Structure 1
Amino acid sequence: MTEYVSTTPGLFPLPDWAKDDLSDLKGHQKHDLITGDEDDAITAVYEDAREEVLDRQREAGLDRIAEGQLRWDDMLAHPLAVHDSVETEGIVRYYDNNNFYRDPVVTGDLTFSGDVASELETTAELTDGDALQAVLPGPYSLSDLATDEHYGDEAEFLGAVADFLAGEVDAFPDVETLFLLEPSLVENAPDDGQDERASEAIDRVANATDADVVVQPYWGALSEKAYAHLLDADIDAVGFDFVADQDDNVYNIQEYGATDDVSLGLADGQSTLVEDPEAIRDRVDWVFDQIPVSEFETVYLTTNTETFYLPYAKFEEKLAVLAEAAELAEVKAA
């Protein structure tokens, strides 16, 4: 019988009070807020905000609890932005959204950092009995968002980023699930040869953990070749953004099959319109009616993108919708 799991791709909006508090503290330079060099007052705000988003996920009834990535001001580029071998330079548009991050310029070897592992260790202490989910940028997206001034070769750089992320994952506490976010697979689709290397890089990161690994592309559908190669990676689930593109995502599953588990992005992570749980459940049925796969072992129900863009109150409502939709799907399946 299929298990339905409600979760998110992480990267939550800050609670309103935390935004206000951090704004008051911005006599400190922005650099101090996001490099791991925060002072005690700033650290305390992030710690309290983390506890709040953990509580909100529990209250909503989510099956996987994410740390929230509230410190990730540079979005998916964060793991590099805080690295000692990286210089953060000019502001760059985050894909085609009205959000921005500092360009992480890699100037030396990408050795172990431990920044994300440290966040997860703290979270694990606060999630007794909860199923903890880790979130990272996938290696292809992280290399795509960065500028390489050290390795000098595209394939070598992608491999170095994959090795870096694998080292970070190896230091994680026990987690139930790892979401690797790969929007660049859609937004800047890999060329011939590069698509196979992207899959191998994802495979390298996935093999660094015993957790269930979900690769979540979004803002559209993967090209056929990128999707086919991704299925070769040793991952548990591929994610699909059914908000941005239904037809091409359905086609990929029809033509090439799918992993044993699947992640369905059915709630809009950027829209303030809050879906009805029954509507999400009906969208699950619609997807399954279109594809030849008879049954998945696990179906993750999630927003199609990170929820960073939402007002905090709408973010809270989306959590509750996902949890209720998963419950409705479980009841119908039984």
Structure 2
Amino acid sequence: MTDYVSTTPGLFPLPDWAKEDLSDLKGHQKGDLISGDEDAEIAAAYEDAREEVTGVQQEAELDRVSEGQLRWDDMLAHPLAVHDAVDTQGIVRYYDNNNFYRDPVVQGELEFSGDVAEELEAASEFVEDDELQAVLPGPYSLADLATDEQYGDEAEFLAAVAEFLEGEVDAFPAHETLFLLEPSLVESTPEDGLDERASEAIDRVAGATDADVVVQPYWGALEEKVYAHLLDADIDAVGFDFVANQEDNLYNIQEYGATDDVSLGLADGQNTLVEDPEAIRDRVDWVYEQIPVTNFDTVYLTTNTETFYLPYAKFEEKLAVLAEAADLAEVKAA
């Protein structure tokens, strides 16, 4: 029987009190490290906010609980933005929306950092191992968002980013699921040759954990060749953004099949309209009606994108909707 798992892709909005406190703390800058380069008050605010967002997910009864990535002011670029070998420079538009991040310019070897592992260790104090979900940018998206002044070759740089992320994952505490977020596979489609290398890079990162690995592209659908190559990676699930693009995502599954598990982005991570749990459950049924593969081992129900775009109260409501929708799907399947 299919297991329905409620979760999110992470990158949450800050609680309102934390947003206000952090903006008021003197000397706060985007991307400051908790590991001693941050003011103690800033570090404490982030720690309290992390405890709150893990608690909110548990109260909503989500099946997977994310650390929240509240310090990721540079969004998916964060793991490089806080790296010693990287110089964060001018402001860059974050894909095609009204969010921005600092351009991480790689100027040295991408050696082990441990920044994300420390965050996950902190979250693991509040979350059981079989509920904890790690979140990282996928290697292709992280390389795409960065500027390379060290490696000088696109393929070599992608390989270096994959090796860096592999080392970061290897340092993670025990976790049940790893979401690799890969919007650049949609937004900056890799050309011939690079699409295969992107899949190989994802495979390398996925191989660093025993957890279930979900690769979550969003803001559209993957081009056919990119999708076909992604299926060659040793991953557990591919994600589909059914909010932004239904037709092309369905086509990929119909034409090329899917992984044994699947992640369905059925709730809108950017829109403040809160869906009904029954509507999400009905959308699951609709997907099943359109595709030949209906025997997935696990179906992750999630928002289609990160949720940092949402007001905090709406974010909380979306969590509850996802949890209830998964419960409804389980009941109907039984």
The aligned residue for residue 60 of structure 2 is 60
**1:33 and 2:28 aligned:** no
Is the Cα contact below 8 Å between 1:216 and 1:263 reproduced in 2? Answer: yes
The aligned residue for residue 113 of structure 1 is 113
What SS class does the counterpart of residue 282 from structure 1 fall into? helix
Cα distance in 2, alignment partners of residues 218 and 129 from structure 1: 27
Is the Cα contact below 8 Å between 1:34 and 1:72 reproduced in 2? Answer: no
How many residues are paired up? 333
Change (3 A) 1:329 1:29: closer
The aligned residue for residue 237 of structure 2 is 237
Note the C-alpha offset of 1:89.
0.1
Equivalent AA in structure 2 for residue 150 of structure 1? Q
Is the Cα contact below 8 Å between 2:34 and 2:43 reproduced in 1? Answer: no
What SS class does the counterpart of residue 214 from structure 1 fall into? strand
The aligned residue for residue 43 of structure 1 is 43
Structure 2 matches for 1:1-334, cutoff 5 A?
Answer: 1-25=1-25, 27-30=26-29, 33=32, 36=35, 37-128=37-128, 131-334=131-334
What SS class does the counterpart of residue 32 from structure 2 fall into? helix
Is the Cα contact below 8 Å between 1:178 and 1:212 reproduced in 2? Answer: yes
Cα distance in 2, alignment partners of residues 328 and 200 from structure 1: 37
Deviations 1:198-247 (A, max 9, x none): 00000000000000000000000000000000000000000000000000
Deviations 1:259-313 (A, max 9, x none): 0000000000000000000000000000010001031000000000000000000
Is the Cα contact below 8 Å between 1:307 and 1:315 reproduced in 2? Answer: yes
Is the Cα contact below 8 Å between 2:31 and 2:72 reproduced in 1? Answer: no
What SS class does the counterpart of residue 118 from structure 1 fall into? helix
What SS class does the counterpart of residue 190 from structure 2 fall into? coil
Change (3 A) 1:133 1:32: closer
Note the C-alpha offset of 1:39.
1.3
What SS class does the counterpart of residue 204 from structure 1 fall into? helix
Is the Cα contact below 8 Å between 2:151 and 2:157 reproduced in 1? Answer: yes
Note the C-alpha offset of 1:319.
0.0
| Structure 1 stretch displaced more, 118-127 or 103-112 | 118-127
Equivalent AA in structure 2 for residue 260 of structure 1? D
Note the C-alpha offset of 1:30.
1.3
TM-score by length of 1: 0.98
Change (3 A) 1:185 1:96: same
Deviations 1:5-44 (A, max 9, x none): 000000000000000101110x205157357521110000
Is the Cα contact below 8 Å between 1:65 and 1:130 reproduced in 2? Answer: no
Cα distance in 1, alignment partners of residues 33 and 250 from structure 2: 39
What SS class does the counterpart of residue 285 from structure 1 fall into? helix
Is the Cα contact below 8 Å between 2:31 and 2:82 reproduced in 1? Answer: no
Cα distance in 2, alignment partners of residues 9 and 274 from structure 1: 17
Sequence identity percentage: 81
Is the Cα contact below 8 Å between 1:32 and 1:38 reproduced in 2? Answer: no
Cα distance in 2, alignment partners of residues 284 and 168 from structure 1: 34
Equivalent AA in structure 2 for residue 80 of structure 1? L
Is the Cα contact below 8 Å between 2:130 and 2:176 reproduced in 1? Answer: no
Equivalent AA in structure 1 for residue 7 of structure 2? T
Cα distance in 1, alignment partners of residues 185 and 283 from structure 2: 24
Is the Cα contact below 8 Å between 2:301 and 2:326 reproduced in 1? Answer: yes
Is the Cα contact below 8 Å between 2:63 and 2:131 reproduced in 1? Answer: yes
Note the C-alpha offset of 1:125.
1.4
Cα distance in 2, alignment partners of residues 88 and 182 from structure 1: 21
Is the Cα contact below 8 Å between 2:268 and 2:304 reproduced in 1? Answer: yes
Is the Cα contact below 8 Å between 2:267 and 2:304 reproduced in 1? Answer: yes
Change (3 A) 1:111 1:169: same
What SS class does the counterpart of residue 71 from structure 2 fall into? coil
Equivalent AA in structure 2 for residue 28 of structure 1? G
Change (3 A) 1:248 1:32: closer
Unmatched 5+ residue regions in structure 1?
A: none
Is the Cα contact below 8 Å between 1:13 and 1:311 reproduced in 2? Answer: yes
TM-score by length of 2: 0.98
What SS class does the counterpart of residue 243 from structure 2 fall into? coil
Cα distance in 1, alignment partners of residues 213 and 249 from structure 2: 19
Equivalent AA in structure 2 for residue 109 of structure 1? E
